[in-house]
């Protein structure tokens, strides 16, 4: 997920039940195509899913994402 051509579009964390302060395991699922990549993370405690974070990652060039200097010039 460290490819600079991809931009995090949304991050949603869904708390499904109380998350204990204890060891947790996670599952990561990555799928996608040329313009959008979907990454889903699930947190588990004792075979129960306690939280999840689905998210979409569009390619920056798809939406013409400005770089920092362009954004600073606009402001």
9-56 pLDDT, tens per residue?
Answer: 667 888 999 999 999 998 988 877 776 677 788 899 999 999 988 765
Asked if residue 62 lies in contact with residue 35, where contact means CB atoms within 8 angstroms, the answer is yes
pLDDT band at 74 (very low <50, low <70, confident <90, very high): very low
Can you tell me the distance from the alpha carbon of 29 to that of 38, in angstroms, rounded to the nearest whole number?
8
Q: Of 55, 53, 7, nearest to 26 (Cα)?
A: 53
The tally of domains found in the chain comes to: 1
Q: Is residue 41 part of a domain?
A: yes
Q: Which domain holds residue 38?
A: 14-74
Estimate the share of the chain in helix, then strand, then coil, as percent rounded to the nearest 5. 15, 45, 40
pTM surpassing 0.75? no
Q: Is residue 35 part of a domain?
A: yes
Structure tokens, 64: 């013409």
Q: Is residue 2 part of a domain?
A: no
Alpha helices in 1-75 (DSSP H): 60-63, 68-74
pLDDT of residue 4: 59
């Amino acid at each position: 997920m460290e490819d600079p051509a991809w931009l995090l579009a949304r991050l949603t964390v869904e708390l499904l039940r109380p998350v204990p302060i204890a060891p947790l395991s996670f599952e990561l699922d990555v799928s996608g195509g040329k313009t959008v990549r979907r990454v889903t993370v699930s947190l588990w405690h004792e075979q129960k899913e306690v939280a999840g974070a689905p998210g979409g990652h569009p390619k920056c060039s798809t939406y013409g994402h400005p770089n920092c200097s362009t954004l600073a010039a606009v402001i």
